[in-house]
Structures are given as C-alpha cells and as structure tokens.
C-alpha cells in the first residue's frame, strides 16, 4: 500500500481536521473530473459513461495501491491519441483489453524496479510528446466546437485536418456560440482565486445558456450528450448516461468495431500488444511525472515502483467494469492538492462522488452540450501543450535536443502514437548511451598531475578510469590502456569512479589483461567496489595466480607494485 497501516497513523488520518480536508478535496476534484472524464471518453471514441467508470474504479484502486499519496487517476488527455485509433479498429472490447494488457506490463515494470529509469526520460522527449498530443486533441475538438457535420475522424492527422477544413461550410453557429461562451467562461474564471473550479462554472454557463436560448428561439438547437448517445439496459433504451453503477463484465464480451463481442484469442492479443506497450509506456511517464509534481506541491515523497504497480492494478481491474485505460492526471492532482488533500482518501472520495453523480444526476448530465465539452478539452489541450517550454527548447537547447523534440512532436502528430512512443524512448536510450560514452574514459596520470603519485617509479603506470563501463563506453574508456611503455612492469587502474561493468566491458578488460600478461605486466585494480570485484572473480577475469590483483587504496597499490617489482628483479638471472 502507499501508506503504512498503524493505529497511530489511522488515528491521524481519521482526525476530523484531516478527514474534513480530504473530504473537501475529494469532492472538489470530483467536480472537475466529472465532465473531464466524459469528455475524454468521447474523445477516445467511446460513450461518456465509460470515462466515468474509469474515474471511479481506477481512481479508487490506484489510490489504495499506488506509490503517491495524492495522485488522482482516471482517463487522461495524453491517452486520447493512442486510444482513438484502437476504438476505431477494435471497438470498446479491443480498447479495454489493451488497457488490461497495459496493466500487466505496468506491474512488470514496477516489479523490475524501472520506476527511476522512467523518471529520467529526457525533457525534450516528454515536451515533444505532450505538445504533439495537445495539437491532435485540439484539432479533434474542432468538429464539436464548430458543430461540423462529420461522421467521424478516423484517418491520419493530415487527412482529418483536411476533412475538418472541407466541412467548415456545415458549421452550426449555435454550437460555435455555446462553445465560445463556455471557453471564455473557463478562461476568465481561471484568473480568479475561487474555490469553485473553472470547469464547473464554464459548463454551468454553457449548459444554462443553451437551455435558455432553446426556450426563447425554437430553431436554436445544439448537440448534447443526450442527443448523441443512447444506451440499452435490459431491453430498455435511454438517452445520455445510464443511471446505474458500473457493473461487472468480461472485457472480451464487449463489442468490437462491428458491434459483435470482440472475443479473446492469441491473434487479438498479438495485434494489440504494440498498443498496450504504448499505453503502458505513456502511462508510466504520465503517472511518475504527476507524482514528481505532486511531491513538489505537497512536500510528499512517492515510491515510483509502487506507483507503477498501483497503476497496473487499476488498469487490470477497470476493464472488468467497462473502464478504459487510465493514468495519473496532473491537472486533477494539482486541484486535489490545492484543495487540501493529504492522503489517498481524497481520491476515494472523488471516485464515490462521481458514482453518486451517475446515480443521481444522469438525466441532468444528458443536457451537457458537446460544444461545451469540446471547449473544456481545448483548454486542457492548451494547458498541456507546454508552448513556452517547446519554444524555449527550440531556441536555446543543443542541436541533438532540438532534433529529439521535433522528432517526437512530428511523430506524435503525423503518425501513430505507438510509433511515436517507440521512437521517442529509443532516442532517449541512444542519447543516454551517447552521453555516458562521452563521460567514460581513461587517462594516464603523471607524477606532477596528482599529489598522491609524486615520486612514481618508471616501472609503474597509473590510469584513472572514469564512468560506467558498458557496451557503448567500454572500448573508448579502455583503449588507451594498451599504450604502455616497454619499461612498465605494473599497471594500476584507479577505478574508484567506475559504477558498473557489463559483459562487453568485462570481455574488453579481459583482452587487455591478456595482452599485458604477454608483455609481463602485472595489473592492480584500485578501489573497485566489492560488488564489481566479486563479479570479475566469478567470471574468471581475476582468477587466483594470475596477473591481476585488487587494492583498497592507491597507496596500498603502490606498495604492492613495489613488492611485485622487487620479486621480479630477484627472479632475474644475475
């Protein structure tokens, strides 16, 4: 669990001031999450109730099992670009199975302790992703914001953009007016310091105005959740959102793109694996970035590996209740903290609030205009675009960072998000390897270069070996070791700054040791960690009786070099 159960801790959590603060925070963030969850579900190509089911189930489960005390999880804008193509191709059933598979991958990542690695993904990669996602989301919202008569946007980005432009003559001014008023209300209220979230104010203004104008003007009509979405429960058909709690369902019994049960087969799992990997990777990035932001705001400290496991459990359970893939949401988490949240209880309350809204307010939610929800997502897209950071990287960052930023951005916008994630993570790994190689190296120390090697005998050569020695850096770091003078009898490798040795480095080191053995040179490895010494001994590089020894300090190494040289001289014929 993300917190330790103890009597003292429980008493502290249930103290009325703490309990009241978390109840208030949960209700506040629930008000924000309610319309966002519906809007993001619609943007992902599914009915709005599935976004609400996700916020309830994933929001509660990840709070209880995750590694951050104040994260709020649910459907997020970052996922829309991945989820929409899955829905178009494989329907709701394929989408929730992808989320279930992503949950398994997230648990595996957490169990493998990859949390810290995910957190160090280069800044240009994350900015490129988020900026690209923001552009795609904003573009997709233009259809409902302008009330355009487009059946669906299922092609690539440029094809969708062209379709939107060609559909501009079908613009409905009533939808545009409500969308513009909602967006203006959101932006203006966001400038005020108020306990009421701008999302609530914007939707109240937009929905109320649409209802009022429809009473005054008979021809003033806007598309609403109720007019676009229908549901059937026990043979009874209704409009909008079914007023029932999420019910258990086998994910493979949910419909595919043709309306038939998607089923479960190895072929389907194999087809969805790439999408599941992209969901897991992006979900890990988003949730851990959110946890870092939350730590800065709330003064907490998260466990990244536990957070990945918690997100995985949430994404495994949610599909069995019709939930779509989920991750931690930065904006909702920030709202949660500002409202006074201090524990996972606020996220549980947020989920229960949304459940109560489904049961009690489903008929009212059906009146929400689609243009108002589009305005809400346009604001979300702008907030996540990181335009200032994008421009700053382009202006002042080194060339390789600019290239990575623009590559991730263009891949996200122009191609499939699965491809973008694969390319972005690959670029991040290559950049890490390159910079590690640049740090690695070995330098021969001269007597005048270090106070500890003054009076160095001619028969001793000392090399300062730096950095992690792995497949990318081993050759560069060790290649200069072969250039020893003919009078050298002992080589001391100062390896106090070596943090790792992979198999490539071990083989490279072994070959160099063999070369030195043929030249009659003894090798002393100085200040190498006990873990790495054991590793070398286990693979046979430093076998007893060979020409390799270890020392715990440079001074000890020099003493041993003197002893070895004396022994060699004594063995020479007179």
Per-residue tokens: 238: 């209704």
Q: At what angle do helices 16-43 and 123-145 cross, to 10 degrees?
A: 70
State the sign of the Cα–Cα–Cα–Cα dihedral 71, 79, 364, 232.
negative
Question: In this predicted structure, which of 293-302, 433-442, 496-505, 509-518 has the lowest mean pLDDT?
Answer: 433-442
pLDDT in tens, 203-251: 999 999 999 999 999 899 999 999 999 998 877 889 999 999 999 999 9
Task: Confirm if 329 and 76 have CB atoms less than 8 A apart.
Answer: yes
- What residues does 360 pair with on adjacent strands? none
The answer on pLDDT for 472 being more than 60 is no
pLDDT-derived band at 447, boundaries 50, 70, 90: very low
pLDDT in tens, 183-202: 999 999 988 888 788 999 99
Task: Confirm if 83 and 45 have CB atoms less than 8 A apart.
Answer: yes
Q: At what angle do helices 48-65 and 16-43 cross, to 10 degrees?
A: 140
**Share of residues in the chain with pLDDT > 90 (%):** 50
pLDDT-derived band at 442, boundaries 50, 70, 90: very low
pLDDT-derived band at 9, boundaries 50, 70, 90: low
Phi, psi of 305 (to 5 degrees): -70, -40
The pLDDT of residue 363: 93
Task: Count how many residues are written for the chain.
Answer: 574
Residue of 10, 97, 102 lying closest to 418 (CA atoms)? 102
The answer on pLDDT for 437 being more than 70 is no
Task: Confirm if 202 and 373 have CB atoms less than 8 A apart.
Answer: no
Residue with tokens 């199975």: 97
Question: In this predicted structure, which of 69-73, 291-295, 470-474 has the lowest mean pLDDT?
Answer: 470-474
Question: In this predicted structure, which of 33-37, 231-235, 275-279 has the lowest mean pLDDT?
Answer: 231-235
The pLDDT of residue 11: 65
pLDDT-derived band at 436, boundaries 50, 70, 90: low
Q: How crowded is the C-beta side of 162, counted as CA atoms within 13 Å?
A: 6
Task: Confirm if 400 and 124 have CB atoms less than 8 A apart.
Answer: no
Task: Confirm if 148 and 163 have CB atoms less than 8 A apart.
Answer: no
The pLDDT of residue 481: 61
pLDDT in tens, 148-182: 998 777 778 888 899 999 999 999 999 999 999 99
Which range, 365-369, 420-424, 447-451, 500-504, is most confident? 365-369
């Amino acid at each position: 669990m993300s917190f330790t159960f103890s009597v003292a801790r429980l008493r502290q959590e249930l103290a009325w001031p703490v309990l009241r603060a978390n109840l208030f925070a949960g209700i506040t963030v629930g008000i924000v999450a309610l319309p966002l969850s519906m809007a993001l579900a619609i943007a992902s190509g599914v009915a709005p109730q599935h976004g609400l089911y996700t916020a309830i189930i994933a929001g509660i489960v990840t709070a209880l099992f995750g590694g951050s005390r104040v994260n709020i999880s649910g459907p997020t804008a970052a996922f829309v670009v991945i989820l929409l193509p899955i829905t178009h191709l494989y329907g709701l059933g394929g989408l929730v199975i992808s989320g279930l598979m992503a949950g398994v991958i997230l648990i595996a990542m957490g169990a493998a302790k990859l949390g810290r690695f995910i957190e160090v993904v280069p800044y240009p990669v994350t900015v490129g992703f988020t900026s690209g996602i923001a552009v795609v989301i904003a573009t997709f919202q233009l259809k409902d914001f302008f009330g355009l008569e487009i059946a669906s946007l299922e092609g690539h980005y440029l094809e969708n953009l062209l379709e939107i432009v060609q559909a501009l003559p079908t613009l409905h001014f009533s939808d545009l007016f409500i969308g513009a008023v909602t967006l203006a209300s959101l932006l203006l209220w966001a400038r005020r310091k108020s306990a009421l979230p701008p999302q609530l104010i914007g939707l109240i203004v937009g929905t109320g105005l649409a209802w009022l104008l429809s009473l005054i003007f008979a021809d003033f009509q806007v598309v609403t959740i109720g007019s676009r979405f229908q549901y059937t429960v026990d043979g009874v058909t209704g409009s909008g959102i079914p007023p029932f709690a999420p019910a258990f369902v086998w994910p493979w019994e949910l419909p595919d793109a043709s309306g038939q049960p998607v089923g479960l087969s190895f072929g389907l799992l194999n087809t969805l694996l790439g999408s599941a990997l992209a969901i897991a990777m992006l979900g890990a990035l988003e949730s851990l970035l959110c946890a870092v932001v939350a730590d800065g705001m709330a003064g907490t400290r998260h466990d990244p590996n536990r957070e990945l496991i918690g997100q995985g459990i949430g994404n495994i359970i949610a599909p069995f209740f019709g939930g779509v893939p989920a991750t931690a949401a930065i904006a909702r988490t920030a709202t949660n903290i500002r409202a006074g949240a201090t524990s996972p209880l606020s996220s549980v309350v947020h989920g229960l609030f949304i459940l109560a809204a489904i049961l009690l307010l489903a008929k009212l939610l059906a009146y929400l205009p689609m243009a108002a929800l589009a305005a809400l997502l346009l604001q979300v897209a702008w907030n996540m675009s990181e335009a200032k950071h994008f421009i700053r990287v382009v202006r002042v960052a080194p060339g390789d960072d600019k290239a990575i930023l623009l590559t991730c951005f263009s891949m996200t916008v122009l191609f499939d998000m699965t491809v973008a994630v694969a390319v972005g993570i690959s670029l991040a790994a290559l950049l890490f390897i390159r910079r590690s190689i640049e740090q690695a190296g070995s330098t021969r120390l001269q007597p005048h270069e270090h106070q500890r090697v003054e009076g160095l005998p001619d028969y001793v050569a000392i090399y300062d070996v730096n950095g992690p020695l792995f497949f990318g850096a081993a050759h560069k770091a060790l290649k200069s070791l072969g250039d020893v003078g003919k009078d050298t009898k002992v080589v001391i490798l100062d390896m106090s700054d070596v943090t790792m040795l992979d198999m490539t480095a071990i083989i490279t080191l072994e070959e160099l040791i063999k070369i030195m053995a043929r030249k009659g040179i003894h090798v002393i490895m100085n200040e190498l960690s006990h873990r790495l010494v054991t590793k070398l001994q286990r693979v046979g590089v430093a076998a007893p009786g060979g020409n390799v020894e270890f020392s715990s300090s440079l001074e000890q190494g020099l003493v041993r070099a003197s002893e070895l040289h004396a022994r060699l001289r004594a063995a020479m014929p007179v």
